[in-house]
Amino acid sequence: MPNKQGTTPAPASANRFERRRAHTRQALIAAARQILAETGETSASIQEIADRADVGFGSFYNHFDSKNDLFDAAVSDALEEYGQLLDLVTAEVDDPAAVVSASIRLSLRLAASHPEITQIVRLRGLAYIHAAEGLGPRALRDLEVGKASGRFAFADPLVALSAVGGSVVGLLQLHTVREVDAEAGEEMAELILRMLGVPADEAREIARRTLPELP
């Protein structure tokens, strides 16, 4: 609905209503993201989630049909934010091999700067890799660009996506049991480029290039 603030009182209060509604929805999603990142589970009650979001219990069902519906929106929200961040940082990079390498290595930097999103990627990311938004479609886009140009060599893009996505989640998992330094990220990028058909010496060089800065 277009903003007609000032012409009549009704649209102004409608706007206020819409803003408050959007705020409530976002507060519920933020609470669910926190809970997922902290516990990895979805067993918190709707009352607990509403309390954490500082919204009334009753408003929950104005926004979501069920708790699963909310957690689903929370995971999608986190993955979409992560994907937009990677897009931003790799926007100036042309070579799909360099984009894939930078995205993998940046996931380790993001583990430090964005621990909540990283936890959600680690715990739920793989289950959402074939979703319409988030990280999966972006990675698939980079893989298909590389396949079309002959930079990458594989037959089935979804098999390659499964391997790349799984490897990144595996690296985040390793991060929970021991220190994963930048060198480990470089090696993971090198292994994945080799897997995608980039010659070994070139994979090694690309994986050790200076990384773009995070905003």
Asked if residue 182 binds a second copy (CB under 8 A), the reply is no
Cβ neighbours for 6, distance < 8 A, ≥ 6 positions apart? 12
Among 30, 73, 126, 145, binds a second copy (CB under 8 A): 126
Among 12, 191, 211, 214, binds a second copy (CB under 8 A): 191
Q: Which stretch binds a second copy (CB under 8 A): 38-46, 54-62, 94-102, 111-119?
A: 38-46
Query: 149 to 178, contacts with a second copy by CB under 8 A?
Result: 153-156, 158-171, 173-174, 177-178
Shortest distance in whole angstroms from residue 174 CB to a second copy: 5
Q: Which stretch binds a second copy (CB under 8 A): 12-20, 85-93, 141-149, 184-192?
A: 184-192
Q: Give the 3-state secondary structure of 140-197.
A: HHHHHHHHHCCCCCCCCHHHHHHHHHHHHHHHHHHCCCCCCCHHHHHHHHHHHHHHCC
Taking each helix axis from N to C terminus, what angle separates 157-174 and 135-148, rounded to the nearest 10 degrees? 130
